[in-house]
Amino acid sequence: MRRSVCLCLGLLGSAVGARLAAAQAGGIAGVVVEEIAGRPLAGVEVSAGGVAVTTDAEGRFRLEGLSGAEVVLSVRGVGYRPVQRTVSVGAVDLRIVLTRAPIELEAVVVTGTPGEVQQRQVANAVSRISGDALIEAPVTSVQDVLNGRAPSVVVLPASGNVGSGSRLRIRGASSPSLGNQPLVYVDGVRVNAASATGPVNQAFGSSSISRINDLNPDDIESIEIIKGPAAATLYGTEASNGVIQIITKRGTRGATRWNFTARQGTNFFSNPEERLWVNYARDPGTGQILSIDLVEREDSLGHPIWRNGHLQEYDLNVSGGSDVVQYFLGGGLEDNEGVDQSNDLRRYSVRGNFTVRPSGKLTTALNLGYVTGRTNLACEAGCGGRVWGTVLANPLNLTGPNASRRGFHSGTPEQYDLLENYWQDLDRFTASLQVTHQPTSWFSHRLNFGTDRTREEDVTFTPRVDSLINHPVWGSQPLGFKAVNDRTLNVTTVDYAATATFAVTPQVRSATSFGGQHYWTRDGFVYAQGREFPAPGLTAISATVRDRFNAQDFVEEKSLGFFVQEQIAWRDRVFVTLGLRSDDHSAFGPNFDRAYYPKAGVSWVVSGEPFWRFSWLNALRVRAAYGESGLQPQTFAAIRTYQPVTGPSDSAAVTPQFIGNPDLGPERGREWELGFEASAFGDRVGVELTYYNKRVTDAILERQIAPSVGIPGTQFFNAGKVANRGLELQVRGRPYEGQRVNVDLTFNLSTNSNEILELDPRDPSQFFTPSAFIRHQVGYPVGSWFEQRVLSAQFDTLGNAVNVMCDDGQGGAMPCMGANGVWGGGDDAPDVYLGRTTPKVEGSFASTITLWDRVRISGLLDFKTGFRKLDGNTRVRCPIFNRCRENFFPTEFDPKRIAGIQSSNNLVDYLIDDASFAKLREVSIAYTLPDRYARRLSASRATVSVAGRNLYTWTGYGGLEPEAYFLGGSRSAGFSLWEQTTIPQLTTWVVTVNLAF
């Protein structure tokens, strides 16, 4: 006690002494912090009375030797709006809050460049998302971070299942047959970003766990996004769909700093009573029409169909260091429950980033990340489950032999929880080592080596349940089934780059860069399955008695590329960049030579010119860029392959499997973009506008092999051309700024016009159908909806749709049905274009209101328009199982809709519904406690926030969720674009406490 009192008195005496010393010496002191996250800002210039200093790692500064009673304090930081404040000489507890500038020309960019450069030097658009604002936002995954925060970055989620993932699209779809996912890097290392991994269900064999969500958002410092070939040239083959670079947090020089974040919240299915339907059936004995509202009925019985899932997360990190060594160590636990009893996620993550600078010429950075845990997925689309059983609720199952189902279509939720078990155990390690050396003032080079190892164990398990053998549940195997897929994916990166900088004249600087990258991917798996356990309680595959099967395989891919780049800078205002990359890839055909990708760009900071006289326009930069990159074929598409068979006398033999194509090369993306950034009215408004025009040539297509060749199947070849054009707009501003109230607004908008320009020139029809209702056709977007369109219909006296007329494809009408009333009779109406499958326009609107520098109220609304989705819920309810009101009271509805329902799935245009929507994505309120209360918690800063996610959706879409993609889009092109019996996006409320020490 005595020691504590003495220590307190000593600290008090030191503080008083410092205040008196500062006052006597004519000095001021304080700390500079970032507005949203409140973290200290290092390297900020602070000046007053002709004296200038920069803040240390703690954000602290001290100015001495000042005269007078008051001085004007100026504070300037790269990427932040400058601040001027009149302060009293002698003040030692100043707290200066900096706000991010609407445009950041001085910010450092590392993605798509040979080394660190300022944004002003880069000729293409680079979107940047800061990790500072994520602490208070209701985000639990990287896909939540990306959604709505960068123009042209579209997130296509699988479902509301906790742990499920999303597909990502940047500037539209470019390939009719290959993936359209961007590359993902973490700290300069290419990583596994597969969008549809996980256990498969027995009905459809699909999965929906995305690897991009393995990273803990609390470890993110920033995310940089380059959006097309013009920006991705330095990444070469595989990069034509854009690149996302995730930069994790680093340590800084200064005292040790601790940060602790705790989250508690809940996930729930918002308003299922209004979103799900009343179903109907006819009693076969009495002919009476029965109805059921299953959600309401189960609620009244005291056992709701879906629960409120508990969410909790804890993150702790420590950072600091000296001039020689800086460190960041962090760990996190995420325990997240979905609304389905069998859906939850428990994940542990650890990160360690270390920087060593033994001299001013050498820097070594080591970044380590590890994540492990289990994701249990609920049974939904494809295997039954709660949504399936509720969407298809059957009033006939309330009585009679199926009364035990309580009105559910097949099994009860409890039966599905027992029978259908899907989980993934994850073990992932990512490491990168970067060595930067600058032996002279004009030459620097770096070597980056890294690896990303992902091990997944995906399990599908149905136990033997004897009580259900005579009462099977749809999609299940009551005698038991188990499948295990043990998959390991290793991605290795070796990246070298060097830059030589010379002053050609006092006004002209040359930077010559060269380097190369080697990427090596090895994907291997061991699979085993078995069916029917001889007795309950058995779980091993070796205990099954039927259909036992096992397999093992691995696939390797390698690429090697080299680049050279020249940048000329004139007066640090005009930057001209020229570059060339050469790539070879193991998936190229043997006859295909290396691919070459040029780039060119110019950036001009017009506002830096002497002639600039527009005081209201603070900064203006114009830019233009051209570049090329590619997308490699599938691994074995170019080579002829064989498969093992049993030959004569049971001897081992092989037979042709795929014909291959030795001339097969990559799809080539060519893009040019024009844009500008401007800030105006005292840096209160910032505008960034980009127009892009991207064309993919040599698109990879498939053609059927003639039987006379003797090798079955199809052959890949280069032929197609696809164009994408669009605008990207981002506006940031602070329309109101006062001493007590500040208002910040951000608006994002992007458009995409997608068109297939050419397919196989030998195919006069110029289209092919990868799946039901989907067509790739010249003159239309990739993966468009094509089906018969009903123009008119009438009812007869019995409520049947008659005189059904369809679009004849030439501006007129014709009978939908073929000759003699038979579908496919030779005179059926043609399939016509019904719409796009991906959004044509997407955007977001975000606002933050800051009150008294302590209260922040934030909101994010995003929207997507101009696309259609197949409403699979109506499909299974109405024409297949006859549970809709339309089946029993048809004259209450549009006869065109009834014509489709009564057509036995021959007319489906009524199912392909406009899926445009706007969603109130995020709302949060955060309060920073006064310092005296934070000190009671032994903290230097304490913040409490309450936030909600997915709060309300405005849409005319007739299904459950306009965002959902059937099982994450992991099935064929047509089925992946359905929305059917999938858990919608969950509403989340979370309370967050953040303490800094």
- Tell me the DSSP string of 67-130: -SSEEEEEEE-TTB--EEEEEETT---EEEEE-B-SS-TTSEE-TTSSS-EEGGG--S-EEEEE
Q: Which of 55-69, 437-451, 916-930 has the least mean pLDDT?
A: 55-69
- CA separation, residue 346 to residues 330, 332, 423 (Å): 17, 11, 11
E runs forming strands in 506-616: 508-531, 546-570, 574-585, 595-605
Whether the predicted pLDDT of 55 surpasses 90 = no
Are 408 and 395 in contact, with CB atoms under 8 Å apart? Answer: no
- CA separation, residue 253 to residues 55, 59, 247, 327 (Å): 11, 11, 19, 9
In angstroms, the CA 231 to CA 112 distance is: 6
Structure tokens at 624: 């233009």
Identify the band that residue 822 occupies on the pLDDT scale cut at 50, 70 and 90: low
Whether the predicted pLDDT of 310 surpasses 70 = yes
Query: Which of 384 and 601 is assigned the larger pLDDT?
Result: 601
3 state DSSP class of 934: helix
Write down the pLDDT at residue 826.
61
In angstroms, the CA 39 to CA 940 distance is: 10
Mean pLDDT of the chain: 87
Residue 229 sits at φ, ψ, to 5 deg, of: -55, -35
Structure tokens at 400: 């009679």
Which is nearest to 122 in space by CA: 602, 562, 827, 664?
602
- CA separation, residue 230 to residues 242, 629, 847 (Å): 9, 8, 31
Query: Which of 763 and 255 is assigned the larger pLDDT?
Result: 255
Q: Is 533 exposed, middle or buried (0-12, 13-18, 19+ CB in 10 A)?
A: buried
In angstroms, the CA 896 to CA 901 distance is: 9
pLDDT in tens, 113-153: 888 888 888 888 888 888 776 777 788 888 888 888 889 99
Residue type, 318: V
Are 628 and 550 in contact, with CB atoms under 8 Å apart? Answer: no
- Tell me the DSSP string of 630-653: EEPPPTTSSS-EEEEEE-GGG-EE
Whether the predicted pLDDT of 50 surpasses 60 = yes
Write down the pLDDT at residue 16.
39
Whether the predicted pLDDT of 25 surpasses 60 = no
pLDDT in tens, 881-921: 999 999 999 999 999 999 999 998 889 999 999 999 999 99
- CA separation, residue 380 to residues 171, 590, 632 (Å): 31, 44, 34
Whether the predicted pLDDT of 504 surpasses 70 = yes
In angstroms, the CA 229 to CA 175 distance is: 14
Whether the predicted pLDDT of 15 surpasses 50 = no
Identify the band that residue 964 occupies on the pLDDT scale cut at 50, 70 and 90: confident
Out of 154-163, 196-205, 704-713, the most confident range is: 154-163
Q: Name 532's Cβ contacts closer than 8 Å, sequence gap at least 6.
A: 464, 477, 479, 480, 481, 544, 545, 546, 547
Write down the pLDDT at residue 447.
95
Identify the band that residue 3 occupies on the pLDDT scale cut at 50, 70 and 90: very low
Which residues is 462 bridged to in the sheet? Answer: 481
DSSP assignment, residue 237?
Answer: B
Residue 580 sits at φ, ψ, to 5 deg, of: -145, 135
Residue 67 Ramachandran class (φ > 0 left, ψ -120 to 50 alpha, else beta): beta
Structure tokens at 850: 């800051």
Write down the pLDDT at residue 972.
40
Helix (H) or strand (E) holding 146: helix 142-146
Beta strands 166-170 and 254-268: pairing type?
Answer: unpaired
Identify the band that residue 570 occupies on the pLDDT scale cut at 50, 70 and 90: very high
Look up the pTM and report it: 0.88
